[in-house]
Amino acid sequence: MKALSLKQPYAELILQGRKKIELRKWNTHFRGDFLIHSSKVPDIEAMKKFGFRNLPCGCIVGKAELIDVNIYKNAKECNSDKNGHLASAEWGHYGFILKNPKRTRKIFCKGSLGFWNFRQDK
């Protein structure tokens, strides 16, 4: 299954349904369910900003569905969706529209850049 690595607290914000758009500097044609992987190193400033102290890192924490990609032509367009992505245009001008976030059991593993294939050894 495809997976996407995100720094905490952004992975957690998606799972809570507070972050509905993931900003990236690259586009994708992928659509469908993917696993949410929390990167090994959290974003300390964002953890403070959103009131988190300790979140799981270096593991699969959930899944979501990528249904579309918004392409923001400028910062004004990007900022119009700020309530969905909780960030600023400096994070990227491609907004991955997410639905149906679900928490899963933690599976510790290494992440990777972009969408990557997760295969669990049985």
Q: Mind listing the pLDDT tens digit for each residue in 4-54?
A: 999 999 999 999 999 999 999 999 999 999 999 999 999 999 999 999 999
Q: Is residue 50 part of a domain?
A: yes
Q: Is residue 39 part of a domain?
A: yes
- Residue 36 has what pLDDT? 98
- Residue 120 has what pLDDT? 80
Instruction: Provide the domain count of the chain.
Output: 1
* Residue 18 lies in domain: 2-110
Query: Do the beta carbons of residue 4 and residue 24 sit within 8 Å?
Result: no
Q: Is residue 115 part of a domain?
A: no
Q: Is residue 53 part of a domain?
A: yes
What would the mean pLDDT of 78-101 be, rounded to a whole number?
A: 94
What would the mean pLDDT of 84-97 be, rounded to a whole number?
A: 93
Confidence of residue 88 (pLDDT cuts 50, 70, 90): confident
Q: Is residue 17 part of a domain?
A: yes
Q: Is residue 15 part of a domain?
A: yes
* Distance from the first to the final alpha carbon of the chain: 14
Read off the CATH number of the domain in which 62 is found: 2.30.130.30
The edge-to-edge listing of strands for the beta sheet with 21-24 is 21-24, 94-108, 59-71, 32-38, 2-6, 115-117
Per-residue pLDDT of 43-76, as tens digits, reads: 999 999 999 999 999 999 999 999 999 999 999 9
Backbone dihedral angles phi then psi of residue 6, each to the nearest 5 degrees: -135, 145
Q: Is residue 11 part of a domain?
A: yes
- Residue 9 has what pLDDT? 98
- Residue 33 has what pLDDT? 98
- Residue 82 has what pLDDT? 93
Confidence of residue 96 (pLDDT cuts 50, 70, 90): very high
Q: Residues 25-48, buried b or exposed e (16+ Cβ, 10 A)?
A: eeeeeeeeebbbbbbeebbeebbe
Q: Is residue 58 part of a domain?
A: yes
Specify the residue for token string 């190193």. 41
Backbone dihedral angles phi then psi of residue 5, each to the nearest 5 degrees: -90, 135
